[in-house]
Chains A and B, each alone.
Chain A
Amino acid sequence: MPRLPISKTPKCYVGGKFIRSESARTFPLNDATGEFFAHMPQCTRKDVRNAVEVAAKAGGGWAGRSAYNRGQILYRLAEMLEPRTAELVNALTLGGATVAEAKKEVAATIDRIVHYAGWTDKFEQILGNVNPVALPHFNFTVTESMGVIGVVAPDEAPLLGLLTCILPAVTAGNSVVVITSETAPYPAIALGEMLATSDLPGGVVNLLSGFRKEMVPTFATHEHIRGIGGVVNAADRKALEIGGAESMKRVKVFNTADAIDWYAGEGPKASLYAIADFLEYKTTWHPVGA
């Protein structure tokens, strides 16, 4: 008699812990064949609120780590994914990808993590600089992380797209609250389990499954979310910009309508400038005199 396998209750990775929605709501997720797979947490605006709290708490520590250490931690994340390739491939095929497609996506994802791991201690050297002011002052511009960034993950390339949107913000020293793919949320669940085993401090990446229409309005108006990344449709973009105006949010999103090549070299945007999207520039003046 074949053994009955243990099925997993998917949980969202928030604040370094695995949670169900505070609302206790779920939505059923079927596999590509239409078979029931699991009940996904249907996160709400309150889950967004809680996630922003933990993200804000974790953010200072993450930004305060040395750039070298952040690079090592991101590289460690790649190390955590590589041996779990099979599990990630399964998570992707669940949503309809072929095994070959899924393998390609996982490989590209791991490589992208490695790419960004190498940026942590370099972007500052290119984006920041000393300014030769015409006054007897020393003047320099450095970058600084923004704080909590809301990310709306794309539906397509549910693993590669997700990480391509998360990595620039996290590399920049921010913490993120992510609305994962609506149509293929399971790879984010798997990713959460791998994040938990990486050295990335809890709260730096927070993954919420559920529906954009329930969470995007909170993204737009939550004052503590300082920037928005990811991929949104025209209506959501407008809503985010209107809602974000009150707290002057930095909205740096891609449009769903635009064809995005997630496999392009460093992603759809040169990675240095993708990181720069979630940085502030701070310029300091000091007199030069004895």
Chain B
Amino acid sequence: MPTAAHKKSKSSPRRRSEPELIFGDLWEFDPAPESADPKLQARYRLFIGGKFVAPKSGKYFPSFNPATAKPIAEIAMASPADVDAAYQAAAKAAPAWANLPGAERGKYLYRIARLLQDRAREFAVAETLDGGKPIKESRDFDVPVAAAHFFYHAGWADKLAYAFPGATPQPHGVVGQVIPWNFPLLMLAWKIAPAIATGNTVVLKPAETTSITALKFAEIVQEAGVPPGVINIVTGAGVTGAAVVNHPTAAKVAFTGSTDVGKLIMRSTAGTGKKLTLELGGKAANIVFEDAPLDQAVEGIVNGIFFNQGHVCCAGSRLLVQESIAEAVLKRLRNRVEVLRVGNPMDKNTDIGAINSKEQLDKIAGLVKAGQAEGAEMFQPKCKLPREGWFFKPTLFSGVEQSHRIVREEIFGPVLSILTFRTVSEAVEKANNTAYGLSAGVWTEKGSRILKMSTELKAGVIWANTYNKFDPTSPFGGYKESGFGREGGKQGLADYVKLT
């Protein structure tokens, strides 16, 4: 049995034998792959008017497994004509769906929630295969929370009058929805559940790289017996998305994705009278005060930036640590990152899976290079990356300045920038010094300071002594250039109704 070895610390040459921990291979874990069948089809068509239909163009594009960089299925490329067909189906279904008693509408959502739970493992495997996120996350987070969203909103369908005192809520009609690739099924649930609960019908476009669970969801829509046309799913790339956003039938457009595309959408829908909700990018500050519970803060920092490979709009990508504890936090953080398991997303022990696409991997690598070039000090753990597929090591940058690109730009990857502060007002100023305002984290044991920080931080979600928590009952959405509108909770419901 080995004994404790005292390794010389590279970071602080002042002290000769600073105690270090050894995270070696004394007890290495064998592969523990999830083996459930994702029940994939070789080719996925569009889901329009309750039926799977071939795209009018006859064109398909491949969807890749990011862990192997190999194609796993073909996805239909919807042209504007296909999108138009989807809108026609949705418009046709809209009056009957809106006039259905709320209690009956709700039952369909309950059915969907149950069917998702029935097929949970199959969906989790499909999600991981197509998107690259660790099976642990798709199994324990994405799929169960997606089902929970339908369950939550199912109950609202016959209680809408209670949500809006003094007003009468009415559906908008047909809603066009475009979702991102980071939480494919969950974002679909966030979009579709409140829309149909309130009596709207939808045309939804999943992200180009992660269409599969949306089309598997279409199978559930059929199994649930949802009236044809209430939910339509069209797949494709930017052209398809633009057709969804710009179709004149859309009374409302809901988009989750990058701030750049969000701005494009706002411009292109300008003057059309379409109601708009946008859930866009972020560059959240995660602020750790010296009286914080350090180990839980470190865990929250890790969860904040490495959850889903950092492909999270609300990721805590800017760590602000009070100067007096910066060393201590950094040391614990390095040790924690050292034991993160990066690799095959299908392995039940994997903490950090594959980067969703080659394009995203290149973007992350580019920004990390910029960070190095700007003089920040980089730390990456010794972990080995798989030889094939798209992977990136969890990365910590210290010695970072507020003006650095890695501090200002959303990286959307497992890269953390670490800054320090001395006083409460400095922390607030640095945290708010961004055009984004989606989320923020605060770690302190002082109750009054938590409430003060929660008031001062200009962000839609504040995680105090925790990070990256989500729930269907909890509204999510941003301030400033992180977009507008909320998803989840009573407030999220409001964005899917007209109040008269």
Contacts and interface: CB of A to CB of B under 8 A. Distances in A.
Interface string B457-500: 00111111110010101111101111110100111001000010
A247 B480 CA distance: 7
Interface string A260-290: 0000000001101100100011111111000
B2 interface: no
Nearest to B164: A273
B475 A141 contact: yes
A100 interface: no
Which of A132, A235, A245, A287 has the largest count of B CB atoms less than 10 A from its CB?
Answer: A245
A139 interface: yes
B446 interface: no
A133 B473 contact: yes
A286 B263 contact: no
Interface string B245-263: 0000000000000010011
Interface residues of A, number: 41
A246 B263 contact: yes
Nearest to B476: A283
A249 to B, nearest CB: 9
A135 B141 CA distance: 12
A245 B499 CA distance: 24
Nearest to B437: A280
Given A133-B469, A245-B267, A270 B166 contact: yes
Interface string B297-327: 0000000000000000000000000000000
Contacts of B280: 248
Interface in B146-166: 148, 164-166
A226 to B, nearest CB: 8
Given A126-B165, A141-B475, A248-B278, A270 B499 contact: yes
Interface in A209-241: 226, 234-235, 237-241
Given A248-B266, A281-B477, A284-B454, A135 B166 contact: no
A209 B164 CA distance: 37
B471 A134 contact: yes
A281 B266 contact: no
A281 B263 contact: no
Given A141-B489, A248-B278, A248-B280, A234 B271 contact: yes
B167 interface: yes
Contacts of A241: 266-267, 269-271
B462 A283 contact: yes
B167 to A, nearest CB: 5
Contacts of B491: 127, 141, 281
Contacts of A247: 435, 480-481
A270 B270 CA distance: 25
B239 to A, nearest CB: 20
Nearest to A269: B499
A154 interface: no
Interface string A52-85: 0000000000000000000000000000000000
Interface residues of B, number: 48
B166 A286 contact: no
Contacts of B483: 248
Given A126-B165, A280-B479, A135 B471 contact: yes
A155 to B, nearest CB: 20
A248 B454 contact: no
B270 A242 contact: yes
B271 A285 contact: no
Nearest to B266: A245
Contacts of B271: 234-235, 237-238, 241-242
Contacts of A131: 471, 473-475, 489
A96 to B, nearest CB: 31
Contacts of B450: 286
A150 interface: no
B464 A286 contact: yes
Nearest to A234: B271
A98 interface: no
Nearest to B459: A282
Nearest to B483: A248
Given A234-B271, A272-B166, A286-B450, A244 B266 contact: yes
Contacts of A269: 499
Contact of A137 (B466, B484, B489): B466
A283 B499 contact: no
A283 B469 contact: no
B475 A284 contact: no
B462 A281 contact: no
A206 B489 CA distance: 35
A139 B476 CA distance: 12
B309 to A, nearest CB: 22
Interface in A97-145: 126-127, 129, 131-135, 137, 139, 141, 144
B466 A287 contact: yes
A129 B266 contact: no
A270 B473 contact: no
Contacts of B469: 133, 135, 137, 285
A237 B273 CA distance: 9
Nearest to B460: A282
B482 to A, nearest CB: 8
Contacts of B484: 248, 250
A139 B464 CA distance: 10
Nearest to A141: B475
Nearest to A143: B491
Nearest to B454: A284
Contacts of A284: 454, 461-464
Contact of B466 (A250, A281, A283, A285): A285
A285 B266 contact: no
B460 A285 contact: no
24 contacts: A129-B489, A133-B469, A135-B471, A139-B473, A141-B474, A241-B269, A241-B271, A242-B270, A245-B263, A245-B266, A246-B263, A248-B262, A248-B263, A248-B278, A248-B480, A255-B273, A280-B460, A282-B461, A283-B460, A283-B462, A285-B463, A285-B469, A286-B464, A287-B466
Given A139-B473, A248-B482, A286-B464, 9 more contacts: A132-B473, A135-B469, A137-B466, A144-B455, A248-B263, A272-B165, A281-B491, A282-B459, A283-B474
7 interchain residue pairs of minimum CB distance: A238-B271, A241-B270, A245-B266, A133-B471, A131-B473, A242-B270, A284-B462
